[in-house]
Structure 1
């Protein structure tokens, strides 16, 4: 009977397991040859897997014997699996992307295409990294979109929870070095970039263009666009814009029209003073030189009345004259002197880059040129910054002796 043969096979496996567990108590090992099992094609009796019957028999053994037998059977199963040839089975399907055209837009000939912003720009905003405005000109937006794979990146220390690997972001310093700086933007480039920056603020800010963040920067650039003297004082606008955005990265502050107006006026005055001082270094005969009407310090100063240009003097700090102490080598914004070279006490001070004597603000332009047709407010007093006399200006050298020039 087939059942007898199955039972003999089970007994053989059990005898082999006992011998493996305790050879002393069970010195006889079972034969490796299994009983021949023949099952008739007409056999109606349901067959029970051999392994299941063997495990049922092993349940009657001690725990140690049962564990050993189970490990032997498992090893045999593994050997059978390893020898199995599964080369005929189909390979698992490769994982594929499921791209579609859902985000496509229709562009007709003549349509104006709004440029999208690359992930690299969003990453800079996410990590609160200052973004130079020249990143937002149309040409540079396209450049970032098309050449992102070749742009220089750098690792940063991620704020908040420390990441296992610092994130990579666009190296803005390397970008400016290769593609130009924001301080060199023309007025048209700046206007174009300002519009794109404001649109970008609407994409990264909460509630989009209806949110406070978008309105913050819309007010920022709206202030500059409202200036009636924007063309004449573009350099001051560019300077204030850059400084305001850099300050905002360190400590965000609310938009204030009065703050912006005061900062803008101070920038215009500072640039005008720097322009006049540069002109004076170029042309010591100040009576023959009028400062440029525009305050764009990037434009080359015009040379009036054919005055000669002295090579190298524009970058020579030793030629500058301080309107407070009458010494060469520095300007009033960095002057720390309390007396003139002859020991006489200095009577002027500086207030936000302006000359002052007591409560009165002195006219810087008049003290340099001596021309009463300056465009300053009438509240600026026309009096010598050295002695206070209203009959001559400081650089007329009436009350003080002109300091010698550098021998170089």
Structure 2
């Protein structure tokens, strides 16, 4: 099963179930996974605990062998039913604590913890002061310490913490506060509001310039405010929708889990999308949710092939992962393995095995690498606060 919220007022990830269905069409056209037909169930998680629990119960009822490449902020609601039924959770988006604590969770990235800690490291190189605008939620409460840990790697002071309602329709007050607190001398405003990040920066762009001449276009002037975010809150699809090279995100810093969208490592995924997603515009190869789903199903495929058995069960999949099944994602992540010695063991995030991020920047309307390769944020996540 693959689940994600769709048509809600907060973050929506319809591309994840759609990518799962395209993956199934592709792999079944090749004869399945080690001869097994892949049947994908999808579920609208609705961004509610009730919706997440309902999806998990359906996975149990329909005997799913794994939940793969999914998005939910409601870890407590979905993880308990999966654990009771022995169903592994492979490659969730990484937004809940449960994804990094449950023994049946196998994350393919470092989640928001890695992104935010890495973003602090990225901003520390260019920003004198930083304002962080983040959701006024339990998950959002974790973000300031993680960002500060990255900033303090370069002896920078902590960011100004500005809370915001996750599903607001405008953020004028928060935008003004963020700009004023960051200052106009090499100041940076970062927003991590999921799908509402675009709404925030629209409010930011509309602020009157009389209080300091701040710019939201990412210009290099010393007296301007630079904007930034992380993948999932800002990505290539958002940049394209907001004007490309004329987007307000031009020049913005962005921290991601994976290589930039134009990297050749994504070509196998792009080929599957071209041939098996047909005209489904939900499946955008530049979307972080779609990319995470591709990687998660890569894990599932390699693990099932390693089993070499006629009967596939959730317990057999999780046992293989626990015993050291190693997955090569073709350069999209470092090699993945979930044995005890591979776990980062960070407070609150013990099951992180991939603590690499990428530093990107928006240039001429495209997210491109600010520096080549991966940056290891494991020590920063572990020693935060």
- What is the TM-score with the length of structure 1 in the denominator? 0.21
Structure 1 or 2: more strand by fraction: 2
CA radius of gyration, larger in: 1
Structure 1 or 2: more helix by fraction: 1
Question: RCO (CA 8 Å, sep 6+): is it higher in 1 or 2?
Answer: 2
- What is the TM-score with the length of structure 2 in the denominator? 0.22
